Amino acid sequence: MNYPTFQNLIGGQWLPAAEGKTTLNLNPADHSDVVGAFPSSHGGDVALAVAAAKKAFATWRLVPAPKRAEVLLRAGILLQSRKEQYARDMTREMGKVLAETRGDVQEAIDEAFYVAGEGRRLFGQTTPSELQNKFAMSVRMPVGVVGLITPWNFPMAIPSWKLFPALVSGNTCVIKPATDTPLSTYNLVQTLVDAGLPPGVVNLVCGSGAATGMAIVEHPDVRAISFTGSSQVGSLVAQHAAATFKPVSLEMGGKNAQIVLDDANLELALDGALWGSFGTTGQRCTATSRILLQKGIADKFTAEFVARAKKLTIGNGLDEAVEVGPQVNEGQVETSEKYVAIALAEGAKLLCGGHRLTEGAYAHGTFFEPTVLGAVTSSMRIAREEVFGPVVCLIEFDTFEQAIEIANSIDYGLSTALYTKDVNRAFTAMRDLESGITYINAPTIGAEVHLPFGGVKRTGNGHREGNGAIDFFTTWKAVYVDYSDKLQRAQIDNAE
């Protein structure tokens, strides 16, 4: 079989894993299509990458931030010219349809342009000193070497949300992509190199979570970890990072609710629900996985929603006519199957889908039918646990207050949506829904890079990406300049 072999980037050099092992990256729409072989790295490779990043930090932190930003600006422009190729690479390795992978690359472009502007801001504060002839200010400092660990569902956008703010702030990076999608991160890193990023400032180390990811988390010279992935792994990452007192930014799972009130524009709510539930084959942290329906519109909405879900075209995302691509791997299909079985055992009703697709064009991929489950109550596991597949459940309610209670009754808190024309209820929901993101009359998916992105409860640990990322990738330093030419004492009574 003919396929390319890719390497890690360490200290500006493309290198195989020290042990020489590789992992194959397969097209989830057709497993006979091998995208490439990527390094299976271990602690030794990570140690080299961290040493290279540490060396590069000595000079990168001194490059003026507006100059650092220029590299990101050039990277954004290069990404624009490479968008179609990178989108096709991404669909091949990850499965989602071309319109969405083009959107994923576009998000990296948007992030590059947004963060490049931050190079001329990175504002600190000045404040009056309590003493005469003394000047007081606070300035942002880079953290040092940062470790970045990313999932497979937004394989270029999410790495860009971490790399670009880390870099403009003066940090150097070691990044580990998910084993299912290393090519898109490789393409992003290659673009940064072509844009003029000096050697060692970004180091790419491919490999498994347990061997490569954990080695980054535990390395004493890594000063902070930014992780996006499941809540289960996020908890493990935070526990291990605590041993060396690393700050950790965690962006994790979701179980996102779209609420539809009786007065909603039903067409709009249906469009939003379909896109939110089955976009990216349901494999978005912000995917709609619970649709809460007020009883007055529930029957009508359900009939129409199921009819539309049945009509979705499933197939290889490289075909422009396809609306729903494969799931990323066999494990994800098994999870979808498992949760359908759990839901049915607990009393839910299968309204459409529910099975993997194995015949004809689907025979060599990991496809699962768009699935709608009815008669679900908020205590069932299907209403509480993340599936991360094209599986959505419908829950009916009587009053607006009940809807808010059901939406909030889970452990996650990433995204919520409310469809209504009642402005009072819209504002009440904006206040009362327990989630990091709330949409009014728009689906649960569709974040923009310059707003805070993240969640509450088991979805996150308080940090934000988007316009919150610079806060994570910098630390504050307080600076006092005394120009009185005499000893002036603070923190003492009667200072004079």
Would you please indicate which residues are annotated as catalytic (active-site) residues? 251, 285
The least distance separating ligand NAD from the CB of residue 393, rounded to whole angstroms, comes to 17
Q: How many CB atoms lie within 10 A of CB 129?
A: 16
The least distance separating ligand NAD from the CB of residue 79, rounded to whole angstroms, comes to 20
Nearer to ligand NAD, 145 or 237 (CB): 237
Nearer to ligand NAD, 348 or 445 (CB): 445
Alpha-carbon distance of 277 to 394, in angstroms, equals 11
Q: What DSSP line would sit under 336-347, residue for residue? A: HHHHHHHHHHTT
Contact between 388 and ligand NAD per CB under 6 A: yes
Which span (228-236, 241-249, 274-282, 487-495) binds ligand NAD, by CB under 6 A?
228-236
Closest CB to ligand NAD: residue number: 209
With the C-alpha atoms ordered 487, 489, 493, 494, is the resulting torsion angle positive or negative? positive
Q: How many residues bind ligand NAD (CB under 6 A)?
A: 31
Alpha-carbon distance of 149 to 159, in angstroms, equals 8
What track of x and - describes contact with ligand NAD for positions 59 through 98 (by CB under 6 A)? ----------------------------------------
Could you tell me whether strands 256-260 and 248-251 are parallel, antiparallel, or unpaired per DSSP bridges? Answer: unpaired
Contact between 210 and ligand NAD per CB under 6 A: yes
Contact between 236 and ligand NAD per CB under 6 A: yes
Q: What does the block give as tokens for 431?
A: 């206040």
Nearer to ligand NAD, 254 or 279 (CB): 254
Contact between 386 and ligand NAD per CB under 6 A: yes
Q: Is 111 left (phi over 0), alpha (psi -120 to 50) or beta?
A: alpha
Could you tell me whether strands 415-419 and 256-260 are parallel, antiparallel, or unpaired per DSSP bridges? Answer: parallel
Q: What does the block give as tokens for 121?
A: 């801001």
Contact between 445 and ligand NAD per CB under 6 A: no
Q: Which of residues 330-369 bind ligand NAD (CB under 6 A)?
A: none
Contact pick of 153, 160, 184, 435 for ligand NAD (by CB under 6 A)? 153
CB neighbour list of residue 121: distance below 8 Å, 6 or more residues apart: none
Nearer to ligand NAD, 109 or 214 (CB): 214
Nearer to ligand NAD, 412 or 419 (CB): 412
Query: What b/e readout covers 177-200, taking b as 16+ CB neighbours within 10 angstroms?
Result: bbbbbbbbbbbbbbbbbebebeeb
CB neighbour list of residue 70: distance below 8 Å, 6 or more residues apart: 116, 119
Which span (11-19, 42-50, 146-154, 367-375) binds ligand NAD, by CB under 6 A?
146-154
What track of x and - describes contact with ligand NAD for positions 242 through 281 (by CB under 6 A)? ---------xxxx---------------------------
Which span (194-202, 232-240, 290-298, 470-478) binds ligand NAD, by CB under 6 A?
232-240
Bridge partners (DSSP) of residue 419 are 260
Could you tell me whether strands 288-294 and 391-397 are parallel, antiparallel, or unpaired per DSSP bridges? Answer: parallel
Q: Which residue in this structure is represented by tokens 């290069």?
A: 78
Q: Which residue in this structure is represented by tokens 């000063």?
A: 223
Contact pick of 17, 49, 205, 233 for ligand NAD (by CB under 6 A)? 233
Nearer to ligand NAD, 98 or 236 (CB): 236
Alpha-carbon distance of 188 to 170, in angstroms, equals 18
The least distance separating ligand NAD from the CB of residue 231, rounded to whole angstroms, comes to 6
Contact pick of 145, 214, 270, 309 for ligand NAD (by CB under 6 A)? 214
Cα 2 versus chain centre, distance: 32
CB neighbour list of residue 225: distance below 8 Å, 6 or more residues apart: 146, 147, 148, 149, 216, 217, 237, 241, 246, 247, 248, 249
Which span (49-57, 151-159, 269-277, 397-405) binds ligand NAD, by CB under 6 A?
151-159
Q: Is 145 left (phi over 0), alpha (psi -120 to 50) or beta?
A: beta
Of 370, 52, 30, nearest to 222 (Cα)?
52
Contact pick of 103, 165, 209, 272 for ligand NAD (by CB under 6 A)? 209
Nearer to ligand NAD, 29 or 225 (CB): 225
Alpha-carbon distance of 98 to 87, in angstroms, equals 6
Nearer to ligand NAD, 93 or 386 (CB): 386
Which span (173-181, 299-307, 353-361, 400-408) binds ligand NAD, by CB under 6 A?
173-181
The least distance separating ligand NAD from the CB of residue 116, rounded to whole angstroms, comes to 22
Q: Which residues bind ligand NAD (CB under 6 A)?
A: 149-154, 176, 178-179, 208-210, 213-214, 217, 228-230, 233, 236-237, 251-254, 285, 386, 388, 414, 455, 459
